[in-house]
Amino acid sequence: MASAVPLRALIMDSSPDTLDLLRQYLEFQGIEVETCNLGRLRREGVDVAAEIAHADPDVVVFDIALPYDVNWDLCAALQRDPRVRAPFVLTTTNRAALERLTSARDAIEILGKPYDLEHFAAAVRNAARRRDEAPPDSGDAPPADARRGLDRRVGDRRREERRRRSSS
């Protein structure tokens, strides 16, 4: 079922190779993609929230890299900024460190690297769908059906165990 207006994602990462890989994969999946090199934006002192607002994506894919606390603080500030209206899908090389910092708040999904690209594309679509299904007066409350913290980690482990068993 194709939608009249394609889903738009903004991918924010400091690695040009990662930006290119994710852009190509999501475009192959029919998603419009804009990329933003986080490292360059920070070095140049660019207002990241203004860049996101200008892109007006349906979903922001935001990489939390070292130093995790600094990058999480930026992400949290962006999520509080009224100009940023899109949900976030977070990526990281150290999922456990990120979950300790975030308590998985206000993030639809936290994806570890290396990516399962099918799961990645599904997370982007799910984030957009949840945003579209949210009641207009829901404010900052997470969706009632959103899996958080331990529930999500247990589900992810189960999926990984099934994948290992099926490949054996």
What are 10-44's pLDDT values in tens digits? 999 999 999 999 999 999 999 999 999 988 888 89
- Among the residue ranges 36-45, 51-60, 66-75, 132-141, the one predicted with the least confidence is 132-141
The residue ranking higher by pLDDT, 148 or 127, is 127
Amino acid at 50: A
Q: What is the pLDDT of residue 84?
A: 93
> d(Cα 160, Cα 69) in Å, to the nearest integer?
27
- From the list 62, 70, 72, the residue with the least C-alpha distance to 35 is 62
Q: What's the CATH fold of domain 8-167?
A: Rossmann fold (3.40.50)
> d(Cα 116, Cα 133) in Å, to the nearest integer?
26
> d(Cα 33, Cα 30) in Å, to the nearest integer?
9
Residues 41 and 64 sit within 8 Å (Cβ to Cβ): no
pTM beyond 0.75: the answer is: no
